Amino acid sequence: MAVMFRAKKMRKSEWDDKNVEAVVQLKRYSYAKIKKMTNSLAHLLGKGGYGTVYKGKLLDDGRDVAVKILKQSQGNGEEFINEVASLSRTSHVNIVSLLGFCYERNKRAIIYEFMPNGSLDKFISENISVKMEWERLYDIAVGVSRGLEYLHNGCVSRIVHFDIKPQNILLDKDLCPKISDFGLAKLCKNKESIMSMLDARGTAGYIAPEVFSKNFGGVSHKSDVYSYGMVVLEMIGARNIEKVEHSGSNNSSMYFPDWIYKDFEREEIMRIFGDRITEEEEKIARKMVLVGLWCIQTNPSHRPAMIKVIEMLEGTLEALQVPPKPLLCLPATTVPETVEDSNETSSFSWPSQFERGTVIGEDTLHISEEDIVQCSSS
């Protein structure tokens, strides 16, 4: 806990070598060694809003690793220290393991375990046209829920991730999901429920409503619950995107939990999954729909805590009730492709499936409350 307060109280000018090593007690590598272990950044794994990831090998034991090189425009390094400090105090099967870091002038890198099956969004997109087991999707959903529960209640300090999305869920060789990318994470005392935030943080399409407008409630660990619910619903929607796109009643350009809920109300939710779904698979699909809809309730207090989410997923379908329809209405506007490079006031909407991914960080998106259509959350 003392480490957390020391990190939070430092001013922007104080992120020097000595302070970094005091906060992050992990193996530190020079940038020259980073270049060597990645073969001069030869094998690109992916790019994100905060950096580029390369495949590499540890110099001492040859183990495969992923190396994230942060953008040089990362300011004073607060995002970097946030991620390294957050990951360094975690240890869970569903949280990616941090193995080291580099902090050398404006060169910053994070070294973590290599995930051979990539990210969840990549896994889903590659398996849309083939038979993907519902049991596998269910196991992934349960694994992510356990990882989030650990972050919220299992750590010395509660960690709120603020950027849960398929791109930040990695899959190991056994398809075990691991939460990654803690660049936007916030740490707080375990007893604290409401957090103070100045700006919206997260990714368009997954960010909880209270994060960008206090009129929806207080920002807390329940904001991660909302993002998790959107991920679960996307796993269901993405599994059947081809059927959805050719369905007259289900326009894929609309806010997709809305059509999922409407079909569920009409007892038609299984229709988009085809005739080959088994009775057991239908139960799994229905359970995931119900849990996802509970998680995206507009009022944060109406969402279950992650421990309850695990209980719902592992319990019986009969024990689950249909949640109220989320009463969040937003204007039909478009999120800029590069929000992070804009300082202008931007309106906000939920992109449809596979159109999400825009990272919203501090000082990057300012949403006028006049742009938000307020709906009752009672």
The residue out of 113, 147, 180 marking a domain boundary is: 113
- For the chain, what is the domain count? 2
Residue 14 CA: distances (Å) to CA of 23, 70, 331: 12, 19, 42
Other CB atoms within 10 A of residue 2 CB: 6
Statement to judge: residues 103 and 244 lie in one domain: no
Catalytic residue, chosen from 163, 181, 224, 263, is 163
> The domain containing residue 329 runs over which residues?
120-371
Q: Do residue 204 and residue 311 come from a single domain?
A: yes
Do residues 92 and 132 share a domain?
no
Residues 157 and 62 reside in one and the same domain: no
CATH code: domain of residue 74: 3.30.200.20
Q: Is 263 a catalytic residue?
A: no
User: Which three-class secondary structure state does DSSP give residue 278?
Assistant: coil
> Both 108 and 127 in a single domain?
no
Instruction: Answer yes or no: are the C-beta atoms of 313 and 134 closer than 8 Å.
Output: no
Shared domain for 141 and 274, answered yes or no, is yes
Does residue 87 sit in the same domain as residue 124? Answer: no
**Phi/psi of residue 107, nearest 5 degrees:** -100, 120
Classify the C-alpha dihedral 244-247-252-257 as positive or negative: negative
Per-10-residue mean pLDDT for the chain, 378 residues long?
39 53 73 95 85 92 93 65 79 93 87 94 76 85 97 88 94 96 77 57 84 86 95 76 46 59 68 69 88 93 96 94 71 33 29 41 38 34
CA 372 to chain centre: 23
Question: Tokens at residue 206, please?
Answer: 């997954």
Phi, psi of 250 (to 5 degrees): -115, 85
Angle made by CA atoms 331, 334, 337, in degrees to the nearest 5: 150
pLDDT number for residue 119: 93
Judge whether 211 lies within some domain: yes
**Number of Cβ within a 10 Å radius of residue 234:** 24
**Closest of 350, 244, 332 to residue 296, by C-alpha:** 350
- How far from 36 is each of 31, 42, 58, 233, CA to CA, in Å? 9, 10, 9, 41
Q: Residue 316: CB partners within 8 Å, gap ≥ 6?
A: none
Reduce the DSSP state of residue 181 to 3 states and report it: coil
Q: Decide which of 85, 113, 141 is a domain's last residue.
A: 113
8 among annotated binding-site residues: no
Residue 211's CATH number: 1.10.510.10
User: Is residue 370 helix, strand or coil?
Assistant: helix
* Same domain assignment for residues 75 and 54: yes
Same domain, 249 and 330: yes
Residues 6+ apart with CB under 8 A from 262: 249
Q: Output the six-digit token pair for 4.
A: 């957390």
Residue 54 lies in a domain: yes
156 and 254 within one domain: yes
Contact in structure between 182 and 87 (CB atoms under 8 Å): yes
Type and span of the H or E element at 101:
strand 98-104
Domain boundary among 80, 97, 113: 113
Q: Are residues 26 and 105 in the same domain?
A: yes
Same-domain status, 256 and 193: yes
